[in-house]
Amino acid sequence: MEMLLSTKGITICLFFFVLSLAAAIEIPLSVSQLPTIMEQSHTQVAYPFDEDFTIKCEARGNPHPTFNWTKDGKPFDLLSDPRIVTSNNSGTFVIQNRGIINNFQGKYRCFASNVLGTAMSEEIELIVPSVPKFPKEKIEPLDVEHGDSVILHCNPPKGIPPLHIYWMNIDLQHIPQDERVSMSLKGDLYFANVEENDSRSDYCCFAAFPRLRTIVQKMPMTLKVSRLKHANDSGSPNAAVTKANFIKERKPKLLIPPESAGSSSSVTVIKGGVLLLECIAEGLPTPHLSWVKVTGNMPKEEPETENFGKILKIDQVSAADEGTYQCTASNPMGRARHEFHVHVEEPPQWLKKPEGGVYSVGTNLVLLCEAIGNPEPSIQWKLNGMPIDSRTFRGRISTREISLTNLQLQDSAVFQCEATNKHGTILASANVNVLNIAPLILTSDGENYATVVGYSAFLHCDIFASPAADVRWTKDDSIEPLSTFRYELNKNGTLEIKDTKKEDSGSYACWAANSVGKRAITANLDIRDATKLVVTPKNPRVLKSHSILLKCQAEYDSHLKHSFKLSWRKDGDELPVNSTEGGRMILDRDTLFISSVLLEDQGVYTCVGSTSLDSATAESQLIVLDVPDPPEDLQLSENQNRSVRLSWRAGSSHNSPVNESIIEFEENRWEPGRWQELTRIPGDDTTALLSLAPYVNYQFRVVSVNAVGRSQPSKPSLRYSTPPAAPDKNPENIRVEASEPNEMVMKWEPLKPVERNGPGLEYKVSWRQQGVRTDWNEETVKKHSLTVRNTPTFVPYEIKVQAVNNLGAGPEPNVTIGYSGEDFPDAAPSGVSVDVVNSTLVKVFWFGIPRDRVRGHLRGYKVSWWKTKSLLDGKRHHPEKHFLTFVGDRNYGMIPGLDPFSEFRLTVLAYNSRGDGPESSPMVFETPEGVPEQPRFLRILNFDKDSVTLSWGLPRKANGHLTGYILQYQIINETHEVGPVSDVSVTNRSTLSWRLSGLSPSTRYKFYVKACTAKGCGKPVTEEGLTVAQGTYAGIYDGISTQGWFIGLMCAIALLTLLLLTICFVRRNKGGKYSVKEKEDLHPDPEAQSIKDEIFGEYSDSDEKPLKGSLQSLNGDIKATESADSLVDYGEGEHGMFNEDGSFIGAYAGSKEKGSVESTGSSTATFPLHA
């Protein structure tokens, strides 16, 4: 590193650093030194209302100085008057306001002396004002003639300025002043010419002295104005006045300055002060005053005039204001002029002041003293407050310089330089302290310093020495001075360590030495870790009205945790700690939470972390996103019949660029007040050529869109009307709706209002039978439908509809084919047959009716069936009719949900939009036996240690001839592990109980019972129980089952359960959509499991009862069922239809059976493809 620095010429070595401290450090008070005036009074007024007056003079020195005073250049003894109170070790004294104190007025000077010399203060003037009073005098009245000039003299008493003079009457009302009557700067009241209404006996002059809190009044003066004596003969007073005025008319004459002053006068003004030039003239008519500068230019800013132009005022006078000014008083009779020669002078000001300091023995001294002023000030040197006698002074002395060579200790003295001209005196003192002392280190030994990594450390070593001391710093036990570029020794002895590192910690020593002696102190430095901050999230983008949480994560040295503080700023301004804006902005230690963010919340948020040693900041710019501001300044141009250009000025996008502009229109002819979208302009374009419709009185507005949303609409544009034209289009969606067999109703969508293009819109309807050569039938209507009667049933027609208005017809319309009214089918399907699939499902086949027998659009076929009797008991049933509809032209369908082992009858009919055709002849079919349903119950009657007696009920539906029962059982335990299943076959179908033996004691068993027919066995009913140990009995119906309380408890539980089941059953029935899969679970049919590809129609009976066991979702919709089959094989009931997802919704209805539960809801059921 040293070599690299050497090549750049930056080698820094601090082995020795010579430090000159002549004026850098204040001399410690412990060192012998000259007196220095530290504080003194200036010009002071002894106000009569003050209790006392303090004249200050404070000084320091070693030895402590003694004080002496002079008054008006003569010694002044502070003990000469008992009203003077002094203070020990101070030159300050207090004059008590008792008795006559006029003798204290004068100019005072303080002298502070010790054995080394004397310091002298500036002059302190004490003014003792007398109480101003007007003399008591008798003022004779003034009798004057009309038109004469008059001066009323005030002659105010002397007092402390400022002085304010007012002329008022005895009622303290101001005397009106104008160009004719005005007051001079001295306070006299001047009349350029008098009028009769000037006569009064109470002209009073008031003099106000604010600093003395005094106002005094002169005795009232009387002024009498009379007409000319030789004008008294005139008959008219006005004529007399006019004649008098004519006689008194005269050219102006200057009263100030008086004619005795000549045509010019000289004025002296102090630089920086205020120049006031005054001219007051008399004459008749009243003279007018004006001002010009004869030599040089007027000030850049037009001078101010006061007192109706009679005073020229210039503030802050400078040398440029010097010159000749002229005032002119003029009236129609002539002019009077006066010139003022203005001279700008200034009191003394320092160019160079003598500067003292600390000097070592043998050095040389040069003191300079230069001052400027106008007139040029005189310079006088003093030594210890006394004029210097050049005959006895061993140095050289001139007007501007004093010099001494080879200074010795006895040359210590206070030199004073005083500059004086007629405008004032200034004083400068220079303390020359000649000392020869060893270094004094003013910084305490063993100081502890600390800073953070990367900052600069400052180790102080304030030194006073004469001669100047050599200073060096060392670290730890090293004796070598610090010499790398990171160390810098300042003039005051402070060591600066730049860009500190951890290894800079340690003990440092400051060494100071001169020819008289040497000193040293130590300092300890600790380097702490720097504070680091991170604000998250960084530069978030937040939607307006949303919330944002800024978190300031801080790392800082553990030694500084007690001084660590966090604060937040927004755009440089500190945020208050307490919540602001009604709690919307909350500061909580290291987090800043802003709720309901506003646009004005956008800005740079700064987290400021500070310790006693350092501070750090981290910023995050909050960007608030909002919908754009509405567009502004909508303008229309390029006007055409069918287009116009719309331009606008985009509003603020609020940090999310506009990606689209929506142009809306409103017209006041068809739908006034309703705004409709016209077009959209992508991007941020602010102009668009709009295509318009004829015969519309438009006005437009624009909505800007960005990623946040849509702006508020702009203000509407001016209205723009387009001329009418023939229609551009014809109606759409022309159709023939269902009607009576011998009529045809043609309908279409009417044109929108903006599509009419003009007044008088009508529709020209043309129609003719398809395939028949004939002319078109035509009719013009205003509505959007037309009914044609006496048409053949279900015949195709060609139809056209054309829009027409007062300006013409629309384009040639397209031809639409429609059919006349339908009638009921008049034929029944034939060849009806039934294929039994299993005990609950059959497949029906039929031959469709001929096309010409449909007499309309074939909608499908409807299959109806009803149960006639049970083959189990031969009991006949009341006809309970059900039906399924099969949409479209098809010839088969599946009929599900039949009762097994029963006889049914079935019919098929065709239907169209008009309704149902005749039914086919009834077809009789039978369903085979099926498996039984569950036995109604299973009970454990008795438990022994190795046997159990079971009892069960008949199945709910046998679905065939019962052949017996299968009884099964197996061991179960607490861990849900089960043992092997044991079977017992009960072949006697009338047996309803069985005793099982050979069971294990104290073992839990699960028992199953299923009923069987020749077709198979149904679902089992189950029960669990625990065998008892040796010599004990336990069972569900033994032991406690014989206790009365238990029987009562069981009855209560049974009633509650029955009530809950009833409520659930009723709630399930509401909505009426059920899955056939649940029904199949209750009526298991092994044959049905093989049906994979057949599809059912929609099922309905007249009772509208739900299928038992169906499930309903909470919102009343049926859960979707799995299907692998084609939609074309589904049937449709009275109210059935296909869902959009392809699942089938059917209806089931019929008359109530005995013991059925009546539903209060709808009865639609969904049949799955397979169980």
Rounded to the nearest 10°, the torsion over CA 255, 258, 259, 263 is -110
pLDDT for 944: 82
Cα gap 517→469, rounded to integer Å: 9
- The pLDDT score that the predictor gives to residue 299 is 65
pLDDT at 16: 31
Q: How does residue 332 score in pLDDT terms, banded at 50, 70 and 90?
A: very high
Query: What length is written for the chain?
Result: 1171
Whether the predicted pLDDT of 644 surpasses 90: yes
Q: How far apart are CA 693 and CA 216, in angstroms?
A: 92
How far, in Å, CA of 887 to CA of 884, rounded?
10
Residue 232 has pLDDT above 70, yes or no: no
| pLDDT of residue 1035 exceeding 80 | no
- pLDDT > 70: what percent of the chain? 84
Would you state the pLDDT for residue 143?
94
471/487 Cα distance (integer angstroms): 14
217-231, 423-437, 472-486, 1025-1039, range with the lowest pLDDT: 1025-1039
**pLDDT surpasses 90 at 911:** yes
Residue 579's pLDDT band (boundaries 50, 70, 90)?
low
pLDDT tens digits for 762-777? 999 999 999 888 899 9
Are 121 and 201 in contact, with CB atoms under 8 Å apart? Answer: no
CA pair distance 80, 810, nearest whole angstrom: 127
* Share above pLDDT 90 across residues of the chain, in percent, rounded to a whole number: 64
Give the sheet arrangement for strand 424-435, strand by strand.
Answer: 357-360, 424-435, 413-421, 378-383, 386-387
Could you tell me if 1149 and 1103 are in contact, meaning their C-beta atoms sit under 8 angstroms apart? yes
**For 656-693, how does the pLDDT look when each residue is reduced to its tens digit (9 = 90+)?**
999 999 999 999 988 999 999 999 999 989 999 999 99
For the chain, the first-to-last Cα distance in angstroms comes to 91
Beta carbons of 1062 and 845 less than 8 angstroms apart: no
- pLDDT at site 576: 82
Q: What is the pLDDT of residues 77-93, one digit of tens each?
A: 999 899 999 999 999 99
- DSSP tally for the chain: helices H, then strands E: 5, 90
Q: What is the pLDDT of residues 4-25, one digit of tens each?
A: 332 223 222 333 333 333 334 5
Compute the distance between CA of residue 331 and CA of residue 249 in angstroms, rounded to an integer. Answer: 10
User: So what's the pLDDT on residue 884?
Assistant: 95
Band of the pLDDT at 100, cuts 50, 70, 90? Answer: confident
Q: What is the pLDDT of residues 422-472, one digit of tens each?
A: 999 999 999 999 999 999 999 999 999 999 999 999 999 999 999 999 999
pLDDT band at 136 (very low <50, low <70, confident <90, very high): confident
DSSP reduced 3-state for 560: helix
Give every strand in the sheet of 830-838, ordered side by side. Answer: 830-838, 841-847, 892-895
Residue 393 is given by DSSP the state -
The DSSP element (H or E) to which 902 belongs, if any, is strand 902-912
Residue 578's pLDDT band (cuts 50, 70, 90):
low
Confidence of residue 580 (pLDDT cuts 50, 70, 90): low
Contact 321, 314 (CB under 8 A): yes
Distance in angstroms (rounded) separating the CA atoms of residues 493 and 506:
19
| Ranges 190-204, 718-732, 1060-1074: which has the least confidence | 1060-1074
Tell me: pLDDT of 824 over 50.
yes
What single-letter DSSP state applies at residue 835? E
Q: Containing H/E element for 1045?
A: helix 1044-1069
Q: What is the pLDDT of residues 31-60, one digit of tens each?
A: 999 999 999 999 888 888 888 999 999 999
Residue 208 per-residue DSSP state: E
Integer Cα distance of 930 and 503 in angstroms:
98
Give the DSSP H/E element, type plus range, for residue 237. helix 237-248
Q: What single-letter amino acid sits at 848?
A: G
Give dist(CA 1147, CA 1074) in Å, integer.
10
Mean pLDDT of the chain: 84
pLDDT at 949: 92
| Burial of residue 401, with CB atoms counted within 10 A of its CB: 0-12 exposed, 13-18 middle, 19 or more buried | middle
What radius of gyration do the chain's Cα atoms show? Answer: 62
Specify the DSSP element, H or E, that contains 676: strand 676-682
Give the mean model confidence (pLDDT) for residues 1091-1112.
Answer: 38
Backbone angles phi, psi at 47, to 5 degrees: -70, 140
Q: What is the pLDDT of residue 105?
A: 92
Confidence of residue 901 (pLDDT cuts 50, 70, 90): very high
pLDDT of residue 19: 33
**If you write DSSP's letter for every residue of 655-700 in order, what string do you get?**
TS---EEEEEEEESSSSTT--EEEEEEETT--EEEEE--SS-EEEE
Cβ–Cβ < 8 Å for 605, 568: yes
Region at 1071 (left for phi over 0; alpha for psi -120 to 50; beta for the rest): left
**CA within 13 Å, CB half, 806:** 7
What is the pLDDT confidence band of residue 738, given thresholds at 50, 70 and 90? Answer: low
Does residue 997 carry a pLDDT above 80?
yes
- According to DSSP, residue 1077 is labeled H
User: Do the Cβ atoms of 484 and 519 come closer than 8 Å?
Assistant: no
Task: Please check whether residue 533 is in contact with residue 607, taking contact to mean a CB–CB distance below 8 angstroms.
Answer: yes
- Residue 212: what residue type? L
pLDDT of residue 276: 94
Instruction: Evaluate whether 607 touches 621 at the Cβ level (below 8 Å).
Output: no
Convert 407-439 to b/e letters by CB count within 10 Å (16 or more is b): beeebbbbbbbbbbbebeebbbbbbbbbbebbb
What number is the average pLDDT over the span 613-629? Answer: 94
pLDDT at 300 over 80: no
Beta bridge partners of 221: 203
Q: Where does 218-369 show beta strands of DSSP type E?
A: 221-226, 250-256, 264-270, 275-278, 280-284, 288-293, 304-306, 311-314, 323-331, 334-352, 357-360, 365-368
CA separation for the pair 266, 966 (Å, rounded): 148
Structure tokens at 373: 């002023």
> Other C-beta atoms within 10 Å of 68: how many?
19
Q: What per-residue confidence (pLDDT) applies to 1095?
A: 42
Residue whose pair of structure tokens reads 């009426």 in the numeric block: 1072
Q: What is the per-residue pLDDT for 131?
A: 85
pLDDT at 1135 over 50: no
Q: What is the reported pLDDT for 245?
A: 55
Task: Report pLDDT for 11.
Answer: 27
Contact 825, 855 (CB under 8 A): yes
Give the DSSP H or E segment for 841: strand 841-847
What the block records as the tokens of 531 is: 């504070």
- pLDDT above 70 for 1040: no
Rounded CA-CA distance 417/426 in Å is: 8
